[in-house]
């Protein structure tokens, strides 16, 4: 399946490096060093939860609201009332559910260490046990917040593979993930860029 590498090459040629994951709405093309502390790491996780079935532009509004009130922080988030979180994240939709998800995740995050130099990388299984964290969100957190080579599959990914006639369309999340991971070098920087490029491709498709 050399197609996947060729597909990547064509996407990067067309769209260029994407600079994911944006921190404080800033993209850093070609720089894969972020996050470099726990606050940045937490912000990525929060964004991953808020963007579930939601356009990123609405997520930015919610993140800005949380930041202004000091709640883009695991300690403050964990002790905040769900209603208060819900008010601040309203623009990102599903705010009742997402407020609960964020609080649950904040506690989990804290349980893995509060110090920049003493914070454990969570296992995929334990992320999936958290209410509100499914396979895509878990892989997004592992890839973008923890720099682990876990390929992220989303709705655009399936759409692109269908478009390229690489799949039939009835494949599961895990099957699609394996397809990428078994046919590409196990490199978090490559996975980072590839998923971001697929999203960029998807956004452009919608315009046509």
Q: What's the closest the beta carbon of residue 48 comes to DNA, in angstroms?
A: 6
N-to-C CA span, the chain:
28
Q: What's the closest the beta carbon of residue 105 comes to DNA, in angstroms?
A: 11
Contact residues toward DNA (CB under 7 A) are: 20-22, 47-48, 51-58, 61, 90-91, 93-98, 130-138, 140, 144, 154-156, 172, 199, 202-203, 206
Q: Which is nearer to DNA, 114 or 175 (CB)?
A: 175
Q: Which is nearer to DNA, 36 or 114 (CB)?
A: 36
Q: What's the closest the beta carbon of residue 115 comes to DNA, in angstroms?
A: 26
Q: What's the closest the beta carbon of residue 27 comes to DNA, in angstroms?
A: 9
SS3 assignment, position 91: helix
Distance CA 11, CA 24 (A): 25
Q: What's the closest the beta carbon of residue 10 comes to DNA, in angstroms?
A: 20
Structural contact between residues 46 and 72, judged by C-beta atoms closer than 8 angstroms: yes
Q: Which of 130, 137, 76 is nearest to 105 (CA)?
A: 130
Q: Which is nearer to DNA, 75 or 202 (CB)?
A: 202
Structural contact between residues 47 and 144, judged by C-beta atoms closer than 8 angstroms: no
Q: Which is nearer to DNA, 75 or 124 (CB)?
A: 124
Q: What's the closest the beta carbon of residue 205 comes to DNA, in angstroms?
A: 9
User: What are the helix (H) ranges across the chain?
Assistant: 3-15, 38-50, 56-68, 74-79, 82-88, 95-111, 124-129, 135-140, 155-163, 173-181, 188-207
Sign for the CA dihedral angle at 79, 81, 84, 86 comes to: positive
Q: Which of 134, 77, 153 is nearest to 108 (CA)?
A: 77
Q: Which is nearer to DNA, 81 or 114 (CB)?
A: 81
Q: Which is nearer to DNA, 54 or 178 (CB)?
A: 54
């Amino acid at each position: 399946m050399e197609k996947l590498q060729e597909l990547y090459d064509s996407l990067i040629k067309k769209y260029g490096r994407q600079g994911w994951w944006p921190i404080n709405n800033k993209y850093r093309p070609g720089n894969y060093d972020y996050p470099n502390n726990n606050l940045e790491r937490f912000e990525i996780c929060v964004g991953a939860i808020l963007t579930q079935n939601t356009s990123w532009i609405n997520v930015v509004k919610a993140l800005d609201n949380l930041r202004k009130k000091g709640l883009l922080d695991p300690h403050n988030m964990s002790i905040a009332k769900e209603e208060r979180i819900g008010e601040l994240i309203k623009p990102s939709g599903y705010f009742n559910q997402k407020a609960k998800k964020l609080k649950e995740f904040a506690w989990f995050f804290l349980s893995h260490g509060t110090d920049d130099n003493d914070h454990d990388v969570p296992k995929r299984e334990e992320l999936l046990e958290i209410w509100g964290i499914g396979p895509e969100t878990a892989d997004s957190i592992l890839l973008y917040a923890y720099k682990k080579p876990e390929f992220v599959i989303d709705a655009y990914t399936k759409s692109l593979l269908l478009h390229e006639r690489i799949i039939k369309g009835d494949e599961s999340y895990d099957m699609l993930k394996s397809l990428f991971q078994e046919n590409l070098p196990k490199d978090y920087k490559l996975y980072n860029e590839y998923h971001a490029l697929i999203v960029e491709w998807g956004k452009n498709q919608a315009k046509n």
